[in-house]
Amino acid sequence: MKRILLSVIAVIVIAAGAMAQEKIKRFENIFQVGGGLFLESGTYDSGNNPGAALRLSYGLDIKFNECWSIMPGIGATGMLGDVRHWGWVGGDVDDYSCLDAFCDVRFHIQSDGSRIVLGLGPCFYYSKNSDTYYIDHDPMDPRNSDIKFWNHGYGLRPSIFFEHGRHFKWGFEGNIGLRNMRIPYPEHNITGKTRFNNIMVVAAFGF
């Protein structure tokens, strides 16, 4: 899967470069930092409470005209689940950090004094995740050695940004997880589903 993700990134970069040479009127480097809620969804109990997410990313916004552009890029996200149990003795919060490659289709709307940008696109992420179950009341529980989540997944990235002036932008960005990330262990009665979602407030700088 790591090779697949690297191949996806390479294809995005090559395609972006080709279009930039042939069709694009203008392109922009955009650096983003964001923070917000990590929302697990599914049938597993650990998805009941929200967590926190932090993200850094870089995108190359390639404009076709005044309205349409695409933005391939890469990012890094850290997610920590269930804020109500942080710091609890014996607490077993979900922890997942990953690198990702994305490609958003963006629609630019001109308004008085600013510009609104709507985005949507796929995201593929990869992690060397080693978060395991921690059953505090029973150190010999066999689940303690089980890794919780798959190391790769995919989702959709909706976003809305507000551009002020030439460089500064802010907005909201999300990820809708499309894969069940929880590894099943039927022998340990772990068969539920968990998808990773998040919603963040994002500040960006472009040039």
Return the pLDDT at 93: 72
pLDDT tens per residue across span 96-122: 899 999 999 999 998 777 789 999 999
Highest mean pLDDT among 13-22, 159-168, 171-180, 191-200: 171-180
Return the pLDDT at 204: 96
Residue 161 corresponds to which tokens in the numbers above?
A: 């940004």
pLDDT tens per residue across span 128-169: 867 777 766 566 777 777 888 999 999 999 999 998 878 899
Asked if the model's pLDDT at residue 59 lies above 60, the reply is yes
89 by DSSP, 3-state: which?
A: coil
Residue 47: pLDDT band (50, 70, 90) is very low
Mean pLDDT of 59-78: 94
* Higher pLDDT pick, 47 / 201: 201
Average pLDDT value for the chain: 82
Residue 66 corresponds to which tokens in the numbers above?
A: 């005044």
Euclidean distance between CA atoms 205 and 30, whole angstroms: 6
% residues pLDDT > 70 (the chain): 76
159, with CB counted inside 10 A (0-12, 13-18, 19+), is buried
Asked if the model's pLDDT at residue 57 lies above 80, the reply is yes
* Higher pLDDT pick, 85 / 93: 93
Return the pLDDT at 99: 95
Return the pLDDT at 82: 72
β partners of residue 177:
155
% residues pLDDT > 90 (the chain): 47
Beta carbons within 8 Å of 191's beta carbon, 6+ residues apart: 184, 185
Return the pLDDT at 14: 60
Residue pair 150/94 in contact (Cβ under 8 Å)? The answer is no
Residue 86 corresponds to which tokens in the numbers above?
A: 């942080």
Residue 98 backbone dihedrals phi, psi, to 5 degrees: -150, 160
